[in-house]
Copies of this chain bind each other. A is one copy, B any other.
Amino acid sequence: MLLLSGEDVQRLLPMNEAMGVIKEAYRIYAKKDYQMPERIFAKVKEDDRYLLMPCLADDCISLKVVVSYPSNQNRESPVTQGVVLVNDLETGDPLAVVNGTVLTAIKTGAVSGVAMEIFRHDAESVGLVGTGYQGIYQLMAACSATSVKKVYLYNRTREKLKPFIEEFRRLSSRELEIISVEDVQELIRKSDIIITATTSLTPVLPNVPSLYKGKVVIGVGSYDHDMREFPRALFEGVDYYYIDSEQGKVECGDIIDPLKNGWVKDEQVILMSDLLEQKKKVEADRTRPIVFKTVSMALFDACVANYLYKKAKKLGVGFSYRI
């Protein structure tokens, strides 16, 4: 069994390669050439959760085990941790245990990266609302997918900005101008692409329709029914609402609520996989907002884990252990 640590995953998976894997995953999703059994979701205590995300795809069976522990906020253990177990689909053999925390961060970045590349590869400015761990990989994705030169950051807790910038500089060699702002409206006005990466229960973007004209807005944070980052105003004047997974329609407040409230119609909701497969050219209409929401899915993790395993074997990276 091959063990791949967080450092191994970082080394093996540059953002542009991860984006390639996500595009391949979209192709598998469009062909329905996978099996995703329903997730297991256990309440451990208070808001702490234990989540199992299995997927059979390509030549592997992948299982992501995620622990989401808000109660770790003031502990040494991370709030979100993950491990991915890979089995061989043909023989069932356990092949690898992969650090799922770094895998998830890079993967989520890559999903946004693919959307940025499609919708606004020539963006020069990106605004990020929410400077948690995930935000760093969102910026790395912007560096891979666009011509970004300026980044605007907003975080409710301002003390988090400095360590965030330091960590980004440590992981990325790209020379970006990074500006912290105190007003989200200013961030939106100055950015071509706006990314929200919070776990907010109420919209983190202002309810002002005019702000979003010609912007590409990407929602990363909300994943549960009761979570919302997007305001109603964002949907005024959109042609389509792009999402990465059908499951989002039943899982995620930022998709459920706009549909339920009629801010977008079901036929306006477009799967990225369909967009990619039809090779439909999306002309970024500079007068309308383009909105993409990712809730992710086990298939992405499976494709990334499989890619990592194969690349690691080829390069002799990781630690091999006879379990």
Partner-B contacts on A (CB < 8 A): 1, 3-6, 35, 37-38, 40-42, 44-45, 48, 50, 52, 54, 56, 61, 63, 65, 67-69, 72, 75, 77, 81, 83, 85, 87, 89, 91-94, 97, 99, 319, 321-323
Contacts and interface: CB of A to CB of B under 8 A. Distances in A.
22 contacts: A1-B97, A3-B3, A3-B323, A5-B322, A5-B323, A37-B41, A38-B40, A42-B54, A42-B61, A44-B92, A48-B92, A50-B54, A50-B56, A52-B63, A67-B87, A67-B94, A72-B92, A75-B91, A77-B91, A77-B92, A83-B94, A97-B323
A85 B56 contact: no
A167 to B, nearest CB: 19
Nearest to A97: B97
A1 B1 CA distance: 14
- Copies of this protein in the complex: 2
Contacts of A89: 44-45
Given A5-B323, A50-B56, A85-B83, A93 B65 contact: no
Nearest to A89: B44
A69 B61 CA distance: 13
A145 to B, nearest CB: 29
Nearest to A67: B92
Contacts of A92: 44, 48, 50, 67-69, 72, 77, 81
Contacts of A99: 323
Given A81-B94, A92-B44, A87 B50 contact: yes
Given A40-B52, A97-B323, 17 more contacts: A6-B323, A37-B42, A42-B54, A44-B61, A44-B89, A50-B54, A50-B61, A67-B87, A67-B93, A69-B91, A69-B92, A72-B92, A77-B93, A81-B94, A83-B94, A83-B323, A321-B321
A51 to B, nearest CB: 10
Nearest to A319: B321
A99 B1 CA distance: 11
A312 to B, nearest CB: 13
Contacts of A52: 40, 52, 54, 63
A52 B298 CA distance: 15
A323 B42 CA distance: 23
B65 A91 contact: no
A57 to B, nearest CB: 12
A92 to B, nearest CB: 3
Contacts of A1: 97
A99 B97 CA distance: 13
Contacts of A83: 85, 94, 323
A54 B42 CA distance: 9
A37 B40 contact: yes
A56 B52 CA distance: 13
A252 to B, nearest CB: 21
Given A52-B52, A81-B93, A35 B42 contact: yes
